[in-house]
């Protein structure tokens, strides 16, 4: 017998841009559709539990590829700024996911529809992130390839990313306000599935004339997801990652899986540097932000174990107390 939640409960699920591929770095449209289809099969478990659903996603690999295309073709095609490239990936990835999910919902006769919301997120124009670049985007390169790319492109900065190779880095300011929050909340509480804040949302600031304008940056999608979950009063925040649960000393002989964490426990482990900033750190930080601002429960797990985690059989479950 399937466990269902109270009618009107909302879940927000966040997953990375790498979820749009199933064969390494092969980002063909066929590959991305196949990966989105597989992800949608997992997402149905949330709807079947009785939740209304908001989906957020990353765009690091895809926006990095657009940046590469832009830089290679800048003499033939007018280059677009990074905020426009984020908007392009919001639209393209949203379309792929919306298409696949709508077909799943029709086959299961849910009566639900899917909408993709191009989402603008206000950031602080004086955020130190604009001077200290941290956000990896785009494909992975060897050290030799990265050094050559930086020689060929003096304005590029590249760093080693979690042992997987070198990637280009861009500014990543913290989100301050999600402009379309009320619209997203209205849509999901009307029974629609909403795809929003793709890639962390389009970063905007207010200029000297009090007008919204885009800026060259990529916002961390987990931090935006936590903010959006609070804004729409989501009952559950799910952050999908590459492992079944959070671990202490991950990858070492004494690694320890964590099934349940209170806010204070997770905060202590974060402060003691158990969760690296380029890996699990931002996900823990986002879950803590969600709980700090009135969130009820957060789950960190991978897509393969999503249904089991919803049933409490795996994943890391975070609560205030």
Catalytic residues: 17-18, 135, 221, 283
Using an 8 Å Cβ cutoff, are 225 and 175 in contact?
no
Q: How many residues would you count in the chain?
A: 321
Beta-carbon count within 10 A of 232 CB: 23
> What's the CA gap between 227 and 8, in Å, rounded?
20
> What's the CA gap between 121 and 212, in Å, rounded?
10
Using an 8 Å Cβ cutoff, are 235 and 11 in contact?
yes
* 4 contact partners, CB below 8 Å, separation of at least 6: 49, 50
Using an 8 Å Cβ cutoff, are 183 and 117 in contact?
yes
Question: Three-state DSSP class for 36?
Answer: helix
Which letter, b or e, does each residue of 143-158 get, where b requires 16 or more Cβ atoms within 10 Å of its Cβ?
eeebeebeeeeeebeb
- For the chain, percent helix, then strand, then coil, each to nearest 5? 40, 25, 35
Using an 8 Å Cβ cutoff, are 225 and 197 in contact?
yes
């Amino acid at each position: 017998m399937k466990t269902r939640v109270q009618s009107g409960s909302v879940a927000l699920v966040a997953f990375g841009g790498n979820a749009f591929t199933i064969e390494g770095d092969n980002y063909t449209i066929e590959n991305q559709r196949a990966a989105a289809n597989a992800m949608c099969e997992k997402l149905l478990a949330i709807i079947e539990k009785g939740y209304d659903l908001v989906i957020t996603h990353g765009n690091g690999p895809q926006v990095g590829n657009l940046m590469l295309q832009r830089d290679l073709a800048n003499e033939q095609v007018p280059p677009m700024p990074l905020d426009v490239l984020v908007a392009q990936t919001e639209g393209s990835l949203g379309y792929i996911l919306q298409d696949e999910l709508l077909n799943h919902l029709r086959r299961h006769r849910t009566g639900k529809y899917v909408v993709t919301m191009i989402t603008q997120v206000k950031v602080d124009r004086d955020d130190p992130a604009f001077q200290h670049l941290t956000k990896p985007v785009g494909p992975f390169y060897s050290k030799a390839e990265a050094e050559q790319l930086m020689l060929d492109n003096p304005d590029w900065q590249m760093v080693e990313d979690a042992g997987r190779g070198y990637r280009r880095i861009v500014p990543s300011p913290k989100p301050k306000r999600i402009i379309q929050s009320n619209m997203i909340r209205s849509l999901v509480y009307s029974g629609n599935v909403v795809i929003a804040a793709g890639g962390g949302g389009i970063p905007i600031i207010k200029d000297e004339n009090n007008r919204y304008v885009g800026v060259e940056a990529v916002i961390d999608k987990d931090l935006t997801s936590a903010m959006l979950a609070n804004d729409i009063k989501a009952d559950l925040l799910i952050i999908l990652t590459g492992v079944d649960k959070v671990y202490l000393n991950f990858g070492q002989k004494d690694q320890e899986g964590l099934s349940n964490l209170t806010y204070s426990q997770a905060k202590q482990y974060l402060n003691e540097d158990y969760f690296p900033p380029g890996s699990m750190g931002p996900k823990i930080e986002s879950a803590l932000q969600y709980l700090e601002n009135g969130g009820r429960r957060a789950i960190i797990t991978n897509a393969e174990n999503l249904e089991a985690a919803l049933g409490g059989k795996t994943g890391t479950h975070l609560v205030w107390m």
